[in-house]
Amino acid sequence: MTDVSSPHPDRPRYRTVADELRRRMLAGTIPAGSLLPSETALMNEFGVSRGTVREAIGLLRAEGLAVTEQGRGTYARPVMPVRRLGSDRYRRELDQIRGATQPETSFTADQAVRWSEYTLDKEFAEVPASAARAELFGVENGTMLLERRFVFRAHGVPQQMSVSCLLLADVAGTPVADPENEPWPGGNTAQLHSLGIVITGIRERVRARMPVREETDTLRIPSGTPVVTITRQTYAGERVVEVATDIVIPSDRVELDYWIDLG
C-alpha cells in the first residue's frame, strides 16, 4: 500500500493522492494516453475511500492532466503536437499565388500536414456588422458581412476554431462566397487575390482566457485548460478587408514565435 501520510497534517488526503498520480504521469510511469488504475485499485493502493479517489481524479481533470470518458475510464491526457505561430506564417499563402506546386495554407504549414490530411468544417451566413466588428473593419454599424465559421482539423482531429468575416460588397456572387470552395489553397490571401485585392499586412492581437462550453466540446479540451485567442485584421493598403474574431487554439497546442527586428 502506498503511504499517503503527509508532513502537513491538515492537507486533504485527496490532494496527496493527486500529487502521487501527478508525479507518475509527469515522470512517464503512467504514460500519456494510458488508463489510470480503476477507482477500486486506487482505493486499495492508497487506503482511502472512493470519494477521496474521485476528488483526486477531479483535481487532475481540472489541471488538464487527466480525461474521463464514459465507457472508457480515466486516462492520462495524450500530449498534443505543439504548433509554432510565427510572424512569417502567412508567407506560405503568398507562395500559392506565386505558383507553389503543392496546395497549402498557413494552417497546414503550422500543422505540418499534407493537404489530404486537412479538413474544414464550415458555415457561411450574411450578417450585419456588430459595433465591435464595424470598429475592426472601420465601417458603419450594420454594414453587411459574410461571416464564415470554421473548425480546422488535422488527421480528423479538431485543432482550431475561428470566425472570419469579409465585406459582403467585396465577395458577393463570387467563388469566395461559396462554402463548397473551402478549403481554398492559400486561404484568405489567395481568395482575395482572385478578386484583385492584394493583402499588404496583417495585424494580430493575442490573449489567453478560459474556454466556453462550445469550445471545450468542439476542440475536446479538458477542464482547466485555457485557450489562446487571436483577433486578426487583414489589410489591403489602408483598408481592412478581413477580420477574424476569436481564432481559438488550446493553449497546450500552440507556441507563439516572433522575430522583432530592432534595426
Question: Residues 154-197: pLDDT tens digits?
Answer: 888 899 999 999 999 999 999 999 999 999 999 999 999 999 99
DSSP 3-state of 240: strand
| Strand ranges of the sheet holding 157-167, from the earlier edge strand across to the other edge | 118-128, 144-154, 157-167, 239-250, 227-236, 201-209
The yes-or-no verdict on residue 261 having pLDDT over 90 is: no
Amino acid identity for residue 207 in this structure: R
Degrees, nearest 5: CA angle 92-97-98:
85
In the chain, % helix, strand, coil (3-state, to 5) comes to 35, 30, 35
Q: What is the DSSP string of 129-188?
A: PPHHHHHHHTS-TT-EEEEEEEEEEETTEEEEEEEEEEEHHHHTTSGGG-GGG-S-TTHH
Higher pLDDT residue, 254 or 199? 199
Average pLDDT of 203-216? 92
CA distance 14 to 164: 44
Using 50, 70 and 90 to split pLDDT, how confident is the model at 90?
confident
Q: How confident is the model at residue 220 (pLDDT cuts 50, 70, 90)?
A: confident
Would the pTM of this model clear 0.75, i.e. be above it? no
Higher per-residue pLDDT: 231 or 84: 231
